[in-house]
A and B are shown apart, each in its own frame.
Chain A
């Protein structure tokens, strides 16, 4: 158990809908990262927040947005969903802001299925 929790575990929805994925980081970690894992694209970094502020952005679509709240939990919002958004979405957390050296601890993921 990494100490990172993600809810829900599974999510099934229809095209055009909007969903929210939630992540609670390990106690003491200030950074939260979101990743998308799909069969064709592999594991792709989406976005990083550090202590409430956006720190880095990766391959995140404009239809997707995220935020980190004062209690440090984070939410990833996916809107106007398409079939191609079906994937496993991971949240990870780390102590500091330096994504390139800090150890990232991954949650169990949320499996999103868009029908």
Chain B
């Protein structure tokens, strides 16, 4: 079975500081990895995803994540955060083939709080 662990439930950080939100997964099949963001009182929005190819994926608003197969990780990073990045971030995994559930499995989420 697949699972996702987000190691930090809350991450407070000052504006313009770098941030890393950690995500580890377990899977016995080929994986596809996603980061979704949920702003207050809204639904989830896709931030970025890794399907294949380059292990470093970027979003349009400055976030990036690197797929590390040996460490089974997909950490999300941003070199300089803004107040508007305050939100909850969800890591998700999916896969295909025997042993996969075929749908997105979400982590518990990490609340990023950016302070002025």
Contacts and interface: CB of A to CB of B under 8 A. Distances in A.
A45 B45 contact: no
A45 B105 contact: yes
Contacts of A43: 44, 90, 106, 109
Interface string A90-115: 10100000111101111111000000
Contacts of A101: 32, 51, 94
Contacts of B94: 99-101
Interface range, B side: 20 to 34
Contacts of A107: 43
Nearest to A97: B102
Given A42-B106, A42-B108, A90 B32 contact: no
A42 B102 contact: no
A49 interface: no
Which residue of B42, B43, B109 has the most chain A CB atoms within 10 A of its CB atom?
B43
A99 B51 contact: no
A56 interface: yes
A105 B101 CA distance: 20
Interface string B64-105: 000000000000000000000000001000111000111111
A4 interface: yes
B107 A56 contact: no
Given A45-B105, A100-B102, 10 more contacts: A42-B107, A45-B103, A92-B43, A99-B94, A100-B32, A100-B100, A106-B43, A106-B45, A108-B41, A108-B42
17 contacts: A42-B107, A42-B109, A43-B90, A45-B104, A58-B103, A90-B44, A98-B96, A99-B103, A99-B104, A100-B94, A100-B100, A100-B102, A100-B103, A100-B104, A101-B51, A106-B43, A108-B42
Interface of B: 32, 36, 41-46, 49, 51, 90, 94-96, 100-109
